[in-house]
Every structure is written in structure tokens, then in C-alpha cells.
Amino acid sequence: MSETFHAMWRSLRPIGRSDASGGYRRYAWTAADADCRLWFRMQAEARRLDVETDRNGNQWAWLGDPTAGDAVVTGSHLDSVPDGGAFDGPLGVVSAFAALDELRARGAVFERPLAIVNFGDEEGARFGLACVGSRLTAGRLTKEQAYELRDADGISLPQAMEAAGYDPSGIGPDPERLARIGAFVELHVEQGRALDLSGDSVGLASAIWPHGRWRYDFAGEANHAGTTRLVDRRDPMLTYAETVLAARREAELAGAVATFGKIAVEPNGVNAIPSLVRGWLDARAADQGALDKVVTGIEAEARAYAERHGIDLTVVRESFTPVVDFSHTLRDELSRLLGEKTGSTGKVPVLGTGAGHDAGILSESIPTAMLFVRNPTGVSHSPAEFAAEDDCVSGVLALADVLEGLACR
Ligand code: HGY
Ligand code: MN
Ligand code: MN
Ligand code: MN
């Protein structure tokens, strides 16, 4: 099995990789995305799977009749955050193809349709909203909302899709497709160190924390950096900086995490006091109460600073995903299957995550579950993200066991 895994990894690895950082820049509807999509199609066709791209740009590789219903689906995404790691997303897609190879080698007989999926634009790196492909399919993002999405150059999502050769006119909910899926299992590299600390290769997801993105617009007064006295300034960068420090304080108080990881400055000149500083807050917490507390606390402090500095502050919630409790039925079924196969009496570890996933978006529509593979660095959304080969193999075998139990005689 590991030979095919290696071959896939080798062929996928160079796509969208930055020589400068060693990270990945695979953004939705760009050339790198097109190369990933071609890679996916080639892997699928090499396995005699029927490949289709749905109305929202998600790719599906089918074994069996897609219209039969009660399909078992596995897969993940191939796009990345700026300078992302090699495993976040691709590990789930490569492992899905490798698990199918493994099941064929075992002589497994499928009694349910199987599909391997590549969800489009999971990271939201280009248009600012995560899980666009799965949100559209699940009806959690309308066509009108999607048409409003713009990238940093002002290109809209439909324009980008068209430029990539896809027709955006049909984007939107796909309930018929979801009605034909009985279970979705996503394998993903762990974005933390729980498995490293517990000494396990593979674990199951218990929940995805509630999380969201807020845009903070600090408007001040542009002026000359050299001739404007300090007392005469209305510098939004100061208020932004104090808000970032407040975010850390509020997160510690609330037991949450809060990150200002993206900023846009106008006019963005070294010798010009900014007129506008736009900062994006990513806030997450294990429960809704803690999330509400941190978000409210940060905004209250930001408004107090803005008041003091004569800055106009606008806060816009750009996206929000409520807590996802993976369905106990499917998760318990996976736990039983994994326990049976490995014969281990020890329970498969179950862990929560602060990272969002397509499985979380779809969990309101279909039974979903997630398998995590150990990441000894715990680092993700960075070139340092890592999973050891034998853990990747354990992940593929676990996924094969689960798919065999769910879809085969
Ligand atoms: O942001 C997230 O949690 C996910 O990686 N898209
Ligand atoms: Mn990610
Ligand atoms: Mn991911
Ligand atoms: Mn000048």
C-alpha cells in the first residue's frame, strides 16, 4: 500500500509549492488549483473511477452508481492557506485513494457506492470564507452571498470560476446529491498534539469548536508621517495595535483563542499615516459561552480605544460556524470497526478540534465523522506541518477498515 501512497504523494507534492517558503499556495480557481484538480482526475481515472465536478466545483470520483443512494464518501480538500503545510487536506484525499487500493488488494466486495471527494476552496484563502464548496452544497451559503465574495484584486468568485473554465451560474444547494450520501468520513492530519501526547497514530473527532471571522475596520485620518505632530494625529494603526493586544488578554480571560492574522492598510505607504486599517479576527473556543465572551470582550475594548483616539470603528461578522458534535452513531460505529480490526481493547482516542472542516459543514445534512492522524509537531497552516510515514500508513489502514465495515460485504 505504501508504494501507491508514496507515488501519489510524490506527484502531488510539487503542485503550488513555494520554493521560498517550502509552503503551499493552492488557492481556489488559480493555476495551482487547476493542477490539483487535474491530479485528482488522473488518480481517479487510473483507478477506473467515474469523475465529475458538481455545480459548486467539488470533484467526486465514484465507484458504483452515484444515483443508487446510501453512498459512503471519503476525501477532503486540496487547497491551502498561504504557505500552508503539505498534509492539511491532501492527506485526506491521498489516503482515500490509497484506502481504495488497499480494499481492492483485500478483495473487498462493495455493496454500497463509494465516492472520493475533493471539496473546493476549503481554506478560504482567496475569498476570505472557509469551506465554500461544502457550504454551497449544504445550502449554508447562498448563490447571492457567493457572488458577493471578492479576492484582494477585486475579482469575484464567479469571475474566478469562469476564468478557470467553470460555469458559476448553477452554484447553490445540492440536496439531491446529499440525499444520496449515507456517510461521509474525512481523514485529516491532526492540527494539534493530542495524539502525540497520547502516543496514538489515529484518533476520532468528537467535535469542532464553534468559530468565526470578524472584520475590524479602523478609520482615522491620513496625513504626512514626517510633518504631522503626534497630538494632531488620528492614527488607526495605534487602535489596531491596542486591539490586537486586547485580543490576547480577552482570550486568556475567556479560555478561548483569538488571532489577528490578516491586515490591510490604506494607503499602505511608509511615509503616510494610514487612513484605514482593516484587521481580520479569527476567534474560537471549546464552547459557545467562551466564544461569545472573547468576541464581546475584544469588541468592547476596541471601541473604548477607538473612542479615546477619535477613530471610527466598524466590526462585521464575516462568517460563523456553530459547534459541531459529530454524530455519535457514526463515530461510535467507526470506533467499533477500528476496535474490531485492530483487536485492540483500548478505545480509539476521541479528540475535539479548533479547526474547521468540510465534515463539520456537512454534519447538519448527513452523518459525518473524522479520523485524525498524528502530527508530532502539532503545527499546521505552516510548512512545518508534519505526519510520519508509518502514521500515514496507519491512517490509510484505519480508513480502509472503516470503509470496508461501512461499504463492503
Ligand atoms: O480555518 C480552519 O480551521 C480550517 O483549516 N479551514
Ligand atoms: Mn486548514
Ligand atoms: Mn483542512
Ligand atoms: Mn512628500
pLDDT of res. 339: 82
Q: Give residues with Cβ within 8 angstroms of 170, minimum separation 6.
A: 55
pLDDT at residue 161 tops 70: yes
Atom nearest to 130 CA in ligand 1? 6
Nearest to 348 by CA among 331, 335, 333: 335
pLDDT number for residue 3 = 76
- Average of pLDDT values for 116-144? 97
Same domain for 193 and 221: no
CB 79, CB 123: distance < 8 Å: yes
Residues 201 and 216 in one domain: no
Residue nearest atom 4 in ligand 1 by C-alpha distance: 356
**Better-scored residue on pLDDT, 342 or 71:** 71
Residue that finishes a domain, picked among 267, 299, 321: 321
Cα distances from 107 to residues 5, 12, 63, 110, 409, in angstroms, run 19, 27, 15, 10, 11
CATH code for position 217? 3.30.70.360
Q: Which atom of ligand 1 is nearest to the CA of 284?
A: 3
Domain that holds residue 250: 211-321
Q: 114 and 71 in contact (C-beta within 8 Å)?
A: yes
Name the domain boundary from 260, 290, 321.
Answer: 321
Kindly state if the Cβ of 28 falls inside 6 Å of ligand 1: no
Enter the pTM of the model. 0.92
Three-class SS state of 121: coil
Does 118 appear as a known binding residue? no
Residues 172 and 317 in one domain: no
The candidate with the shortest Cα–Cα distance to 236, out of 316, 306, 303, is 306
At 409 the pLDDT is 87
Residues 240 and 257 in one domain: yes
CB atoms under 10 Å from CB of 277, counted, come to 24
Choosing from 264, 287, 321, the residue where a domain stops is 321
| CA 191 – ligand 2 centroid, Å | 8
Number of CB atoms found within 10 A of residue 112's CB: 18
Is 257 in contact with 354 (CB distance < 8 Å)?
yes
Identify the residue with better confidence: 78 or 409: 78
Taking only the tens place, the pLDDT of each residue in 20-66 is: 999 999 999 999 999 999 999 999 999 999 999 999 999 999 999 99
Query: 304 and 365 share a domain?
Result: no
The answer to whether the annotation marks 213 as part of a ligand binding site is yes
Q: Give the number of domains in the chain.
A: 2
CA distance 83 to 25: 6
**If you average pLDDT over every residue of the chain, what do you get?**
96
> Which pLDDT belongs to residue 328?
78
- How far, in Å, is the centroid of ligand 1 from the Cα of 207? 14
Ligand number nearest to the C-alpha of 122? 1
Residue 257, SS3 per DSSP: strand
Please give the distance, rounded to the nearest whole angstrom, from the Cα atom of residue 100 to the centre of ligand 1: 26
Nearest residue by C-alpha to atom 6 in ligand 1: 123
Residues near 230 by beta carbon (within 8 Å), at least 6 away in sequence:
none
Q: Is 88 annotated as a binding residue?
A: yes
Pocket flag, ligand 1, residue 132 (CB < 6 Å): no
pLDDT in tens, 313-355: 999 999 999 999 997 789 989 998 998 765 555 578 999 999 9
Task: Find out whether 284 is annotated in a ligand binding site.
Answer: yes
Q: Does the pLDDT at position 402 exceed 90?
A: yes
Query: Given this model, what pLDDT does residue 343 score?
Result: 55
Residue 257 in this model has a pLDDT that exceeds 80: yes
CB of 12 closer than 8 Å to CB of 143: no
Name the band, by pLDDT with cuts 50, 70 and 90, for residue 4.
confident
Residues 76, 25 share a domain: yes
| Spatial distance between the Cα atoms of 40 and 43, rounded to a whole number of angstroms | 5
Answer yes or no: do 16 and 137 share one domain: yes
